[in-house]
Structure 1
Amino acid sequence: MELICPAGTPASFREAVDAGADVVYCGFRDETNARNFPGLNFTRKELEQSIAYAQSKGTQTYVALNTFMRAGDEIVWYEAVDDAVRLGADAVIVADFGLMAYVAEYHPRQRLHVSVQASASNVDAINFLVDAFGAKRVVLPRILTIPDIARIARQITCEIEVFVFGGLCVMAEGRCSLSSYATGKSPNMNGVCSPASHVRYRQDGNDLVSELGDYTINRFPDGEAAGYPTLCKGRFEVAGQYGYAFEDPVSLDVMDHIDGLREAGVCALKIEGRQRGKAYVAEVVSTLRRTLSADSRSRPALIHRLKLLSEGQQTTSGAYEKRWR
């Protein structure tokens, strides 16, 4: 299975390549990219140089153009596709159906992957994208179980890629409006989920309080690791019970399920983390590279140390092992 690794900067890109990535995925420094944060991402020149470096090491590059086009300004996304193809991207990762149509019509030989942001999570949706736009691969949302993935794999004709480590989005990606509700900034349109500009921490007695926009997301007593404030990982009172309504503020880690994912028909394993630094990328990629070639008994020791790099210093198997609350 391919190991697909993140890069938010040229330095992280080189670290991912050197650490053993089969593929590095990244995006342009604009709203065509769902990680559109200050200080991240690539100019056209930086991407050209990074692709050349990857090619020299036998590594592929996927360019994420995974936001939805804004009516009247489609040219921004069209030009991003044109530039990604011109610079030698091995695949473009696309969420917007209109942009998929553009790729299919104007760059029919360009490999097209369906972004997780497209929220294609059933056989009919995926087969439609294959038939209509020639999609070669679908990145499945992080809400499916391994039996779900296996059932889908048996009935589609394109490849399957899944997330295995890093930030856990507990929603059907591409359909979440929580960040938009709290901050006015959309992950689907602006490329930002819970933007740092709207995040605040304050001390209240012995508690550290995290806030997003005008909303209190969590309170952490002394000694409890504090996660990044996103609404879907907030701690609230619901139906008379106080706790995490959707998911704990922890990172995804399903490397214990690699054999099951392989048997289910998955061909590529994706690490989340384009907002992370190059040290994180190097450590995670090199460890998971070794994990893929290790037997099941050796894997826990290899990946245990990665918990220290995870959100809240904890990890979860998400939908692979537990039910929704």
Structure 2
Amino acid sequence: MELLSPAGNLTALRAAVDNGADTVYIGFRDATNARHFPGLNFTPQQAAKGVEYAHARGARVAVAINSYVQAGGWAQWREAVDGAARIGADAVILADLGLLDYAAQHHPELARHLSVQASATTPEALNFYQRRYGVTRAVLPRVLSIQQVAALAEETDVELEVFGFGSLCVMAEGRCLLSSYATGESPNTVGACSPAWAVQWQETERGREVHLGGILIDRFAPEEPAGYPTICKGRYEVEGRIEHAFESPTSLETAELLPQLQRAGVQAIKIEGRQRSPAYVGTVTRIWRQLLDDLTAAGDEAGAHRPDPARIAELREFCEGSTTTLGPYERKWQ
């Protein structure tokens, strides 16, 4: 299976390539991608250098242009597709139908991958994207069980890519409404969940409070670690209890499921985290490269292969909230 690693800057891209990523996915420094945060992403010049670095070492680069075109913004989103072609990227990751059509018409040589933001989970949907826009791969939303992934693989020729490690999202990708409710903006519209301008920290007698769009979404004790706030991972009062009502801070970690994912027909494993540091990207990529190489060396048709516990332990040190989950993959009944 192919290994895809994230990169939020040129240093992270080099770390991913040097540690064994088959493909690195990046975004331009504007609202055309769903990780549009200050100081993150690539200028066209940096992206060109990244492609050159990756290609010289046998790796590929995919450009995520996975937010949806907003009114009056067609020129900007179109230029992102043109820019990806201009720098020699190997693929674009798209969700917007207009952009898919534009890329197919004007850059047919540029592989088109369907973003998780399109939230396509049926063979009818995937086959439509393939037939109409020449999509060769789809990133599946993190809501499907392994059984559902396997059933999907049997009914489509579109390559299937799944997330194997990193943060989870409580929403079906492409359908986020919580951030829009609090701030009027979302990953689909401006590329950012919890846009920085809407985040406010405040020290109070009851603890360190964080607001999003004026809404209190969490309160932390003095020594309690506090990550970047998102509304879905906040704590709220529900029937007299304060708890993570939508989603607890945890990481998807599927190393133990690699044989099953391979047998299900998955062609690519994706690591989440373009907002993460180069050190994180390099270490996590290295561990996953070893895990996938071990699986290949085992020639495991029967599914008896188990990953090295030492590598799993090292990997889990990088998990959000220091906890892990198999997410919907553990739904054996589905």
Structure 2-normalised TM-score?
0.91
User: Could you tell me which residue of structure 2 aligns to residue 270 of structure 1?
Assistant: 270
**The 10-residue stretch of structure 1 (13-22 or 179-188) with the greater mean CA deviation from structure 2:** 179-188
Is the CA contact (8 Å cut-off) linking 1:226 and 1:312 kept in structure 2? no
1:1-325 pair list within 5 angstroms: 1-205=1-205, 207-221=207-221, 224-238=224-238, 242-294=242-294, 296-321=305-330
Is the CA contact (8 Å cut-off) linking 1:95 and 1:114 kept in structure 2? yes
Q: Distance in 2 between matches of 1:270 and 1:262?
A: 13
Q: Distance in 2 between matches of 1:310 and 1:214?
A: 29
Once the two structures are superposed, residues 167-210 of structure 1 have per-residue CA deviations (whole angstroms, 9 ceiling, x without a partner) of: 11121111111112112222101000112333344444464433
Q: Distance in 1 between matches of 2:104 and 2:230?
A: 36
Once the two structures are superposed, residues 111-132 of structure 1 have per-residue CA deviations (whole angstroms, 9 ceiling, x without a partner) of: 1000001111112111111111
Q: Distance in 2 between matches of 1:247 and 1:299?
A: 29
Deviation at 1:317, TM superposition (A): 1.5
Q: Distance in 2 between matches of 1:218 and 1:75?
A: 39
Matched positions, count: 323
Is the CA contact (8 Å cut-off) linking 1:210 and 1:219 kept in structure 2? yes
**The 10-residue stretch of structure 1 (43-52 or 54-63) with the greater mean CA deviation from structure 2:** 43-52
Is the CA contact (8 Å cut-off) linking 2:251 and 2:323 kept in structure 1? yes
Q: Distance in 2 between matches of 1:259 and 1:52?
A: 33
Is the CA contact (8 Å cut-off) linking 2:145 and 2:331 kept in structure 1? no
**What residue ranges of structure 2 are gaps of 5+ in the alignment?**
296-304
Is the CA contact (8 Å cut-off) linking 2:167 and 2:250 kept in structure 1? yes
The code of the aligned residue for 1:312 comes to G
Once the two structures are superposed, residues 81-137 of structure 1 have per-residue CA deviations (whole angstroms, 9 ceiling, x without a partner) of: 112112111110001011001111111222100000111111211111111101000
Is the CA contact (8 Å cut-off) linking 1:93 and 1:114 kept in structure 2? yes
Q: Distance in 2 between matches of 1:200 and 1:167?
A: 22
Q: 1:242 to 1:184 in 2, by over 3 A?
A: same
Identity of matched residues, %: 51
Q: Distance in 2 between matches of 1:156 and 1:238?
A: 43
Q: Distance in 1 between matches of 2:73 and 2:229?
A: 31
**What residue ranges of structure 1 are gaps of 5+ in the alignment?**
none
Q: Distance in 1 between matches of 2:25 and 2:127?
A: 24
The code of the aligned residue for 2:318 comes to L
Structure 1-normalised TM-score?
0.93
Q: Distance in 2 between matches of 1:202 and 1:307?
A: 31
Q: 1:184 to 1:113 in 2, by over 3 A?
A: same
Q: Distance in 2 between matches of 1:198 and 1:259?
A: 42
Q: Distance in 2 between matches of 1:80 and 1:12?
A: 21
The code of the aligned residue for 2:66 comes to N
Is the CA contact (8 Å cut-off) linking 2:232 and 2:247 kept in structure 1? yes
The code of the aligned residue for 2:322 comes to Q
Deviation at 1:11, TM superposition (A): 0.8
Is the CA contact (8 Å cut-off) linking 1:207 and 1:220 kept in structure 2? yes
The code of the aligned residue for 1:318 comes to G
The code of the aligned residue for 2:312 comes to I
**The 10-residue stretch of structure 1 (276-285 or 214-223) with the greater mean CA deviation from structure 2:** 214-223
Q: Distance in 1 between matches of 2:148 and 2:220?
A: 35
